[in-house]
Amino acid sequence: MEILQNFGFQPTLFIAQIVNFLILAYVFKRFLYKPILKTLKERQKTIAKGLSDAEDAAREKELALSKKEEVLNEAAKEAEKIIDSTKKSAEDLKEEILSEAKKEAEKIITSAKEQADIQMESMEKRAKQASLDNSMAILEKALSSLFTKEERSKILSRSVKELKDID
Amino acid sequence: MNDYYLKKLAASIAQDGEIKGANAQRVLKTLSLKDLKKFLSFLKTELLKSTVEVSSSDKLVAETKQLLAKKFQGKHLVEKVDENLGAGMMVKSYDMIYDLTVMGSIKEIAQKIEDTI
């Protein structure tokens, strides 16, 4: 006790300080600590929510990316299919056009050959006919001076005889 | 007038190979335009039927003429000279042709050649 007094310890002051402390502790707890704690809790909640939202967003982003990848793959496959189909169609069309063109060309050639043959035949016929006509014309001209009067008389007599024998 | 009488009339008029003045007058006065047309058509046929055309390269001698007159009795003979016939004789009697000329023979041969072309 003497030692405590030597150090200036006064029990009344000490008790008063304890009371002061308790009052201060109560006031702090009542008016400062609780609102701060409440604010901290709310902030913690907001942060947690934010984190959760961020996680969700990241997950959704991942999902969207995956979906995008899937859609892109599908689209690429579809495009490839369309290109293949178009290529095939184009090939088929090309084949068809070539075949048609070949047939048409063959038809034209055949027709031209036929036409040429007909023309050739017609020309030959005309040439022969012209040759015959010319021969006839020459003969007709030459016929009047071909026979002598005696020969003509003989032939006429023979004609009269032939005419007599008819019927 | 019906066709039968028109034909008879045409035949009687064309008997000599020519239409005489009196007959022509009678026909022109009595027939209608329609009958006249028919009559002329019949007359043309009758004239052709009653005419024999003889073509030869030289003028026919009397003997040949007599022979032809005997063969085509009752028909009018018309003589033609055509040097292009060469020699021989061609007789045309309505729808009959007797071609006994050198030209005719040549034409026949030419026709055969033409047919084979």
Q: What is the DSSP string of A79-105?
A: HHHHHHHHHHHHHHHHHHHHHHHHHHH
Compute the mean pLDDT over every residue in chain A, rounded to the nearest whole number. 91
Best residue of A158, A163, A166, A167 to probe chain B, by most B CBs closer than 10 Å: A163
Averaged pLDDT, A118-131: 91
3-state helix, strand, coil in chain A (%, to 5): 95, 0, 5
pLDDT of residue A90: 95
pLDDT surpasses 80 at A4: no
User: Which two three-digit tokens encode residue B76?
Assistant: 């009018």
Which residues are registered as beta bridge partners of B79? B54
Q: Write the residue in B71, B87, B106 that is nearest to A164 by C-beta.
A: B71
Which residues are registered as beta bridge partners of B92? B53, B97
Hey, CA dihedral for B70, B72, B73, B75, is it positive or negative?
A: negative
Decide which of A18 and B8 is more confident: A18
Number of Cα atoms under 13 Å in the Cβ half of residue A28: 6
pLDDT of residue B25: 75
pLDDT surpasses 90 at A97: yes
Compute the mean pLDDT over every residue in chain B, rounded to the nearest whole number. 84
Q: What ipTM goes with this model?
A: 0.70
Chain A, chain B: beta-carbon pairs less than 8 Å apart: 71
Contact present, A147 and B86 (Cβ < 8 Å) = yes
* Closest-CA distance of chain B to residue A87, Å: 59
Averaged pLDDT, A51-73: 95
Which of B111, B112, B65 lies closest to B89 in space, CA to CA?
Answer: B65
Asked if A156 lies within 8 A of B85 by C-beta distance, the reply is no
pLDDT of residue B67: 87
From chain A, the residues in CB contact with B91 under 8 A are: 163
Note which residues in 45-84 of chain B have CB less than 8 A from chain A.
Answer: 56-58, 60, 64, 67-68, 71, 83-84
From chain B, the residues in CB contact with A146 under 8 A are: 86, 102
Instruction: Classify residue A159 by burial, with Cβ atoms within 10 Å: 0-12, 13-18, 19+.
Output: buried
Cβ atoms within 10 Å, residue A9? 11
pLDDT surpasses 90 at A57: yes
Cα–Cα distance for residue pair A27/A81, rounded to 1 Å: 78
Report the predicted TM-score, pTM, of the whole model to 2 decimal places: 0.50
Model confidence at B115, in pLDDT bands (50, 70, 90)?
confident
Asked if B67 lies within 8 A of A164 by C-beta distance, the reply is yes
Instruction: Name the range with the highest mean pLDDT among A114-118, B38-42, B60-64, B107-111.
Output: A114-118
* Closest-CA distance of chain B to residue A153, Å: 8
Cβ atoms within 10 Å, residue A133? 12
Cα–Cα distance for residue pair A75/A69, rounded to 1 Å: 10
pLDDT surpasses 70 at B80: yes
Outline where DSSP puts E strands in B1-117: 51-56, 76-81, 88-93, 96-101
Cβ atoms within 10 Å, residue B50? 19
pLDDT surpasses 90 at A138: no
From chain B, the residues in CB contact with A149 under 8 A are: 58
Asked if B85 lies within 8 A of A143 by C-beta distance, the reply is yes
CA distances from A40 to A29, A43, A52 (A): 15, 5, 18
Residue B104 contacts A where some CB pair is shorter than 8 Å = no
* Closest-CA distance of chain A to residue B100, Å: 6
* Closest-CA distance of chain A to residue B116, Å: 10
